[in-house]
Amino acid sequence: MSKQAKVSIKGLYKIFGATPEAMLSAVYDGIGKDDLLEQHGHVLGLQDINVDMAPGETTVIMGLSGSGKSTLIRHLNRLIEPTAGEVLIDGENVLDYDEAQLRRLRQEKMSMVFQKFALLPHRTVLQNAAMARIVRGEEEADAEKAAAKWLDRVGLAGFEDHYPHQLSGGMQQRVGIARALASDSDIMLMDEAFSALDPLIRTDMQDLLLELQEELHKTIVFITHDLDEALKLADHLVILKDGYVVQQGEPQHILLNPNDPYIEDFVSDINRARVLRVRSVMKPINGTTSFEGVVDADDNLEKLIEISGGDTTHAYKVQRDGEDVGVLKMKDLVRALVPAVPSSDENTLR
Amino acid sequence: MATYDGMFEALGLSDWCEKDSSGGPMTMAQLLAQSNGGAEEKTPFWETPFPSLDELNQSCDAIARTRDMTSWVENLFLSVKDGLKLVLDPITQPLSWALDGSLWLFETLPWFVVIPALLLIVWFATRSLALVGGVAVSFLFLAFIDHYTPAIQTLSIIFVCTGFSVALGVPIGILMSRSDTLQRISLPVLDMLQTLPTFVYLIPLIFLFSVTESKLYGVAIILYAIVPVIRLTDLGIRLVDKDVIEAADAFGMTSRQKLFGVQIPLALPNIMAGVNQTIMMSLAMVVIASLVSAPGLGVLVLRGIRNLELGVGLVSGFGIVLLAILLDRVTKASLNRINAAQPR
Ligand SMILES: Nc1ncnc2c1ncn2[C@@H]1O[C@H](COP(=O)(O)OP(=O)(O)O)[C@@H](O)[C@H]1O
Ligand SMILES: [Mg+2]
């Protein structure tokens, strides 16, 4: 990454308990989560988190329930104070902020979408969407004009005067998204924003987010425990376990090179052909001359299997924006479809 | 000879006991014993008295008697009373003004102004024609049997005391909801105010305030009736959805914006339930407060008890029941309107 990170987390630790600072040295010495709880009665929430989030990208933080995802995302706007470490936003350490600066950060630079929507039940959809702007002191009429625009954008035109409880879960979360977008903040924090929704509506919402992101290029921090969702949305994937980062990087890379049994378990039961893309499996063109056809670097492997009719002897030229970038041999493709180490109990972690 | 003589001798305290023996007045028991010729029978073991102050005093004059102790308490209270009065008098003065002013207003305005005004208030609070009708019939009936003035006096006192209870109780409840320490300290006090028989705290109040001042009964009513508003404001704010509070924080609300824009509106159903209870408790207390010169229907009930005027007592008692039902119905109906306007 050559650009300056929009959000940069450095050496972040969070210990829950009566005297977290006193526990730091033990944690620096590498005491585990279980031992810390057993011997000192403190919960190790996060340990040595280092993540850079590039501007305009979606960083997905994935992990099982209790792995510290919510704790981590709440450090970005300091809803939770860290025990040690730094959180830099546009190069400024937000931990140095005083109350007024912190409020400005929350009002102008960051917005948040919540798993349980967290809308104001006594306010209309329009008033909810306008909340961020009203909080920072804009005229109600102006704020509501902007809010109405975003409600329209997320497909809620005509529902302005409804109350949240009159809407379905999916629609309520659209209000949540409109509320976040209406604040015009660069950074959007989404804590399991779609986890409470039915699968079909969830897919709709993911598509909506991708579509919005296409034109808005916000820096999105998205939390999920669902690998399919993570792979669909992530530019950068961070996998969290017991409060530490197991692996982070380009999602396709993690999928092909999991460095931990925890991740192998995660990735073992997904449809790899649908998730993996040609660009992740292709090889450089080293003299290969006979191609069965031309494919796009961003095609998924499922599509290639269909094109090839299952013939493993085929090779295809890979192009991106009309330029040759590599070659895809069907043999490599088949190999990529098998997880690195097949897991024996693949369902335990879901 | 008294039962515990031996004990003081055994402890070698006889001298100390004798030393400042006061020739103070004797208790009735001593007097009786003396007039019986001081017969020195030995107390049978089974009748050994409890070593109380009076009993010990018989053996050892240096130990005070219970009636000395109560007079100390009285003197102590009287000595701090002036200091307390100096502080309490000015801050409770507005209460007297409000009570007297409101009574004056209700009594001066003619009935054909007051009753329609009440009906209008009921209409705006409940939007229920049935309730307006009920209130109209009840008041016309009370007026017809010449109980209009005491009923309106009782109502006036309830209005003022409820107003003060809400004005003080809601902020106290808000403070309590923000501090666990304050809540831990306040809850036992609130429990005590609510469980103490009301007569018990009338006593110190009578000494603190003169019976001629309306704030005496005002304070008594408020002390008793303020508890539910405080409790339910505290509870209501604590029960506000944590996720919504987190959202308010995440969007950078100031604590003022959060209080008035989120916490109080969402706690409103609970706060109003507290106001309903406060009104009902004011009514209960305004009757008892007639003992300390509160005007209204309670005075008639009291007359019924004192003079055994059964009819007076029963009719005014019925008037109180009527008021209670009306107040409860009207506040519940407006509470329901608030709940309906604020769906969850
Ligand atoms: N306030 C707290 N006090 C003590 N432990 C906490 C607190 N908040 C979170 N934890 C612990 O921190 C860990 C991570 O929690 P959380 O961030 O909510 O996980 P996730 O969002 O990934 O499900 C859990 O073990 C949880 O019990
Ligand atoms: Mg969580």
Q: What is the CATH number of the domain that holds B239?
A: 1.10.3720.10
Q: How many domains does chain B have?
A: 2
Do A152 and A284 share a domain, yes or no?
A: no
A66 lines ligand 1 (CB under 6 A): yes
d(CA A57, CA A323): 24
Q: What is the DSSP letter of B12?
A: T
d(CA B18, CA B41): 23
For B101, the token pair is 């002013």
CB hemisphere CA count around B116 (13 angstroms)? 4
**B243, B252, B265: residue with CB nearest A136:** B252
Do A213 and A289 share a domain, yes or no?
A: no
**Confidence band of B24 (pLDDT split at 50, 70, 90):** low
**Confidence band of B25 (pLDDT split at 50, 70, 90):** low
**Closest ligand to residue A44's CA:** 1
Q: Assess if residue B147 is contained within a domain.
A: yes
Do A78 and A169 share a domain, yes or no?
A: yes
0.90 surpassed by pTM: no
Do A101 and A233 share a domain, yes or no?
A: yes
Do A85 and A211 share a domain, yes or no?
A: yes
Q: Assess if residue A14 is contained within a domain.
A: no
State which residues form the domain around B154.
Answer: 80-341
Q: Residue A172 in 3-state DSSP? A: helix
Q: Residue A111: how many CB atoms within 10 A of its CB?
A: 28
**Angle formed by the axes of helices B111-126 and B129-144, nearest 10°:** 160
**Angle formed by the axes of helices A330-337 and A301-308, nearest 10°:** 130
Do B88 and B25 share a domain, yes or no?
A: no
Do B127 and B266 share a domain, yes or no?
A: yes
Q: Which of A12, A13, A14, A16 to mutate to test the pocket of ligand 1 (most atoms within 8 A of CB)?
A: A16
State which residues form the domain around A326.
Answer: 272-336
Do A82 and A212 share a domain, yes or no?
A: yes
A251 lines ligand 1 (CB under 6 A): no
Strand order in the sheet with A58-63: A110-113, A187-191, A219-224, A58-63, A236-241, A244-249
Q: With an 8 Å Cβ cutoff, is B265 touching chain A? A: yes
The pLDDT tens digits for B188-198 are 999 998 888 87
The residue type of B213 is E
The residue type of B155 is L
Taking the CA of residue B243 and the nearest CA in chain A, the distance in Å comes to: 5
Q: With an 8 Å Cβ cutoff, is B260 touching chain A? A: no
Do B158 and B59 share a domain, yes or no?
A: no
Average pLDDT over residues B263-278: 94
Do A198 and A73 share a domain, yes or no?
A: yes
| Contact at CB, B257 and A135, closer than 8 angstroms | yes
Do B60 and B95 share a domain, yes or no?
A: no
| Contact at CB, B254 and A111, closer than 8 angstroms | no
- A with B: how many residue pairs have Cβ under 8 Å apart? 59
Do B205 and B99 share a domain, yes or no?
A: yes
Per-residue pLDDT at B63: 84
Per-residue pLDDT at A349: 40
d(CA B201, CA B63): 30
The residue type of B199 is F
Q: Assess if residue A332 is contained within a domain.
A: yes
Q: How many domains does chain A have?
A: 2
Do A183 and A315 share a domain, yes or no?
A: no
The pLDDT tens digits for B59-79 are 888 888 888 889 998 888 888
Per-residue pLDDT at A174: 95
Q: Residue B79: how many CB atoms within 10 A of its CB?
A: 9
| Contact at CB, B249 and A122, closer than 8 angstroms | no
The pLDDT tens digits for B132-189 are 999 999 999 999 999 999 999 999 999 999 999 999 999 999 999 999 999 999 999 9
Q: Assess if residue B71 is contained within a domain.
A: no
- Per-position pLDDT tens, chain A of length 350: 456 899 999 999 999 999 999 999 989 888 888 889 999 999 999 999 999 999 999 999 999 999 999 999 999 999 999 999 999 999 999 999 999 999 999 999 999 999 999 999 999 999 999 999 999 999 999 999 999 999 999 999 999 999 999 999 999 999 999 999 999 999 999 999 999 999 999 999 999 999 999 999 999 999 999 988 999 999 999 999 999 999 999 998 998 888 888 888 878 878 888 888 888 888 888 877 788 888 888 888 888 888 888 888 888 889 888 888 889 888 888 888 887 654 444 443 43
Do B287 and B159 share a domain, yes or no?
A: yes
